[in-house]
């Protein structure tokens, strides 16, 4: 595994970093889409996230990363093991799985294990990327260039949280719950609306335009490239701090309360913006709760809602091409209207 640039060493890009942290604290928020300038560090941030995430408990030897604390969601193998009383658990890194653009369908959903078929003439299921990403993150770089047939597959699985494979007389279903993370450059093309909707939060990434941060970016990047290991070592402390923040926020999350007033605010905001369906409201609430947990707050305040609303809502607006204002501006306007 190549050494990756540390998350805490990324200069600026606060909106993107916060969105990723929120997704790490509460995966139910439903993924992050980062669209913006070339060379602004989108991919760097996502790859850095993998190194940052606290480890999780998994069943030893499980190919689907089954969670020992949720026996009701076990895969077939784990159920057998449990019945036999042979279930062992281990701490494992949270998977951040790359879905490369050239991937073929069989590797995404899983297929017959070629090696075993050839060598031993056995039929066995070889899990694909979706299985590997279960309980972790599935990352698509240049998400807007992903082939349509792969997008369709993802949409289906992301909606049901389960991957069903019917092939060569083999019938496998396994849990596949993952946080979808996508990055891209809007100039290369737009994202399909259905896929857009699957992302909980969408952030706009811009290259920093103030000189001091630009210099800091270049300086850190240069230092990293000259001595990756040394650079990472000098950031270990910061990384540990941030990791701890995620862990404590996860513990606090169930205790964060949402007042009726806050719920109403969220609903009014969504209505003002005319977002489709309930998904916007739900995501807004969840994200605000996670934000409150990160910041050690006991309840969700207007401030939390205000800060997270652009990320949670800007990609859910109905397009109004004659309104020249970008969606961020429209969300800001609505926030000003609702929160006064």
Partner 1 sequence: MNLALAWSDAATAAQLFAVDPVGTGVLLRSRAGPVRDRWLTMLRAALPPTDAHKHLPLHIAEGRLLGGLDLSATLITGRPVAERGLLAEADGGVLVLAMAERMPSSTTVHVTAAMDSHETLIERDGLSLRMPARFGVIALDEGLEDEFAPAALRDRLAFHLDLDRFAFRDTEEFDITASDIDTARARLPSIRATDEQIEAVCTAAAAMGIISLRAPLLAIRAARAAAALSGHSEIDKEDISLAARLVLAPRALYFPQPEQPDQSEPPPPEPPPPPEDNSNDNQDQEQQTPDFDKALEEVILAAAKAAIPDDVLASLRASSGRSRARSSGKAGELQKSNKRGRPTGTLRGELRAGAKLSVIETLRAAAPWQPLRRREAAASGRDSAQPEILIRKDDFRIARFKMRTETTTIFVVDASGSAALHRLAEAKGAVELLLADCYVRRDQVSMIAFRGEIAEILLPPTRSLTRAKRSLAGLPGGGGTPLAAGLDAAFALADSIRRKGQTPTVIMLTDGRANIARDGAPGRPKAEEDALASARQLRAANINAVLIDMSPRPGPQGEKIAKEMGARYLPLPYANATVLSQAVLASTQ
Nearest to 53, CA basis, from 8, 98, 11: 8
Q: Which of 63, 214, 220, 279 is catalytic?
A: 279
List binders of partner 1 among 140-159 (CB under 8 A): 141-142, 145, 149
Q: Does 189 bind partner 1 (CB under 8 A)?
A: yes
The Cα–Cα gap between 65 and 95 comes to: 9
Known catalytic residue at 319: no
Q: Identify which of residues 85 and 212 has a Cβ nearer to partner 1 in the complex.
A: 212
Closest CB 69 distance from partner 1, rounded Å: 28
Q: Identify which of residues 6 and 68 has a Cβ nearer to partner 1 in the complex.
A: 6
Residues whose CB is less than 8 angstroms from the CB of residue 274 and which lie 6 or more positions away in sequence, other chains included = 317, 318
Pairing of strands 170-175, 162-167: antiparallel
Q: Is 110 left (phi over 0), alpha (psi -120 to 50) or beta?
A: left
Burial 94-109 (b: 16+ CB within 10 A, else e): bbbbbbeeebeeebbb
List binders of partner 1 among 61-100 (CB under 8 A): 98-100
List binders of partner 1 among 312-331 (CB under 8 A): 319, 321-322, 324
Closest CB 234 distance from partner 1, rounded Å: 15
DSSP run (H or E) holding 273: helix 260-273
Report the helix count and the strand count for the chain, using DSSP H and E: 15, 11
Per CB under 8 A, which region of 36-44, 62-70, 74-82, 307-315 contacts partner 1?
A: 36-44
**Pair 266, 316: CB distance under 8 Å:** no
Q: Residue count at the site for partner 1 (CB under 8 A)?
A: 63
Q: Identify which of residues 76 and 222 has a Cβ nearer to partner 1 in the complex.
A: 222
List binders of partner 1 among 289-308 (CB under 8 A): none
- Binding characters for partner 1, 212-251, by CB under 8 A (x = yes): x-xx-xxx-xx---x-------------------------
Backbone angles phi, psi at 303, to 5 degrees: -60, -45
The Cα–Cα gap between 26 and 213 comes to: 30
Catalytic residues: 279
Residues engaged in binding partner 1 (CB under 8 A)? 2, 37-40, 43, 98-108, 111-115, 117-119, 121-123, 126, 128-129, 141-142, 145, 149, 167-168, 185-190, 192-193, 207-212, 214-215, 217-219, 221-222, 226, 319, 321-322, 324
């Amino acid at each position: 595994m190549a050494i990756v640039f540390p998350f805490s060493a990324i200069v600026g890009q606060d909106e993107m970093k916060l969105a990723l942290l929120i997704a790490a604290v509460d995966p139910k928020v439903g993924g992050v889409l980062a669209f913006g300038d070339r060379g602004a560090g989108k991919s760097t941030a996502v790859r850095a996230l993998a190194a940052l995430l606290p480890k999780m408990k998994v069943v030893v030897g499980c190919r689907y990363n089954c969670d020992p604390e949720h026996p009701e969601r076990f895969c077939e193998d784990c159920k057998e093991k449990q019945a036999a009383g042979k279930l062992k658990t281990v701490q494992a890194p949270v998977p951040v799985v790359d879905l490369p653009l050239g991937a073929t369908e069989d590797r995404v959903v899983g297929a017959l294990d070629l090696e075993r078929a050839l060598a031993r003439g056995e039929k066995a299921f070889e899990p694909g990327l979706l299985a590997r990403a279960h309980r972790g993150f599935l990352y698509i770089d240049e998400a807007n260039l992903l082939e349509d047939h792969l997008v369709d597959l993802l949409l289906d699985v992301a909606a049901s949280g389960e991957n069903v494979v019917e092939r060569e007389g083999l019938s496998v279903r396994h849990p596949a719950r993952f946080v979808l993370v996508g990055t891209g450059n809007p100039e290369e093309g737009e994202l399909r609306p259905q896929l857009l909707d699957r992302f909980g939060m969408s952030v706009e990434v811009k290259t920093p335009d103030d000189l001091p941060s630009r210099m800091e970016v270049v300086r850190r990047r240069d230092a990293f490239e000259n001595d990756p290991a040394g650079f990472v070592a000098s950031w270990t402390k910061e990384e540990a701090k941030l990791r701890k923040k995620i862990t404590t926020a996860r513990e606090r999350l169930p205790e964060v309360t949402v007042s009726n007033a806050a719920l109403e605010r969220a609903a009014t905001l969504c209505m003002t913006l005319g977002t489709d369906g309930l998904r916007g409201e739900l995501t807004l609430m969840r994200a605000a709760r996670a934000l409150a947990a990160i910041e050690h707050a006991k309840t969700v305040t207007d401030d939390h809602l205000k800060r997270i609303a652009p990320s949670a809502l800007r990609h859910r607006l109905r397009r109004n091409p004659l309104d020249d204002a970008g969606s961020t501006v429209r969300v800001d306007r609505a926030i000003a209207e609702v929160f006064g």
